[in-house]
Amino acid sequence: MSVILGRAINNLQRVTRQALRYCTAVENQTKIEAQTKIEDVPIISSPQYDDRDTLYQKVRQAWLENLDTLKEKKLGLVTLHPKVYATTPRIDIIHQNVRWQKLYRFVSYAHTKTRAECRGGGRKPWPQKGTGRARHGSIRSPLWKGGGIAHGPRSPTPHFFMLPFHKRVLGLTSTLSAKLAQDDLHVVNSLEIPTAEPSYIEQLIEERNWGPSVLFVDSYDIMPENITLATDQIKHVNLMPVYGLNVYSMLKHNTLVLTEAAARLIEEKLLFQLRRADIHLIAKPFKVNQK
């Protein structure tokens, strides 16, 4: 009787072990399938705008791309606010921004001497009267050859001035809108790349039909290590944080690549400036020689 009972217990344990193995295998397979399904689900990034019902234009959408593979993958869609990425491009304001950025850092070193700085000319060349000639007091007068220059350039001469605040904001929105309309603005999930080799960036640009010059913009000034090392030796590919984004740099590069976080931060900052009621108080400190 004890022998029969022992065999029954052994058979029951075997069945339990097989069931446990089966359940574990099914559970692992289920996890893998669920993870695969999650990766295949497209990402839809669509924030709730307060003024969505009153917008004159429809919101814009851009593909969310990747950088971790050479082949482009469409990870999902990103919704962009039309007041930032779909405004009417003002070419005149863009030109004013570019001219301002070129001039505010330009210093002219052209220098000419006045009559007091020229060597010689201390005595009167001839008497005031009696010779029949025109009266002169110095051979270094601006009327004479080799004399001083009247009203000539004096160095150093800075050409610094401040562009009105609203023109700088509209310059950014106009440039971003032009880039998006020309399909030169791309949104990626992050700047993480698998290697630090510069050849990977060059192959990526060629594969995606970007460039030849590309500007990568992230929300923070500390970039991932691999893309920092990879772009360090490529002169026509640059990295920039959001707080340094400007009209001249966007126009200088053929392609503008924003991370999703950078696109949201740019949108938030510019919308805040476009909607604020105290714009005259904010712009007042930037006025030069005006009361």
At 67, which CATH number? 3.40.1370.10
Residues 90 and 121 in one domain: no
The residue segments making up the domain with residue 135 are 107-158
**Nearest to 267, CA basis, from 95, 50, 44, 67:** 50
Residues 223 and 93 in one domain: yes
Q: Which of 158, 178, 201 is the last residue of a domain?
A: 158
Task: Evaluate whether residue 195 is within a structural domain.
Answer: yes
Task: Evaluate whether residue 98 is within a structural domain.
Answer: yes
Contacting residues for 127 by C-beta, under 8 A, at least 6 apart = none
Task: Evaluate whether residue 182 is within a structural domain.
Answer: yes
Task: Evaluate whether residue 264 is within a structural domain.
Answer: yes
Residues 184 and 197 in one domain: yes
Task: Evaluate whether residue 12 is within a structural domain.
Answer: no
What pTM value is reported for the model? Answer: 0.77
As for how many domains the chain has, the answer is 2
Q: How many CA atoms lie within 13 A of 273 on its CB side?
A: 17
Q: Walk along the chain (291 residues) and give the pLDDT tens digit of each residue.
A: 566 666 666 665 665 554 444 444 445 555 555 554 445 677 777 787 877 778 888 899 999 999 999 999 999 999 999 999 999 999 999 999 999 999 998 999 999 999 999 999 999 999 999 999 999 999 999 999 999 999 999 999 999 998 988 899 999 999 999 999 999 999 999 999 999 999 999 999 999 999 899 999 999 999 999 999 999 999 999 999 999 999 999 999 999 999 999 999 999 999 999 888 887 787 677 666 544
Task: Evaluate whether residue 219 is within a structural domain.
Answer: yes
Residues 133 and 242 in one domain: no
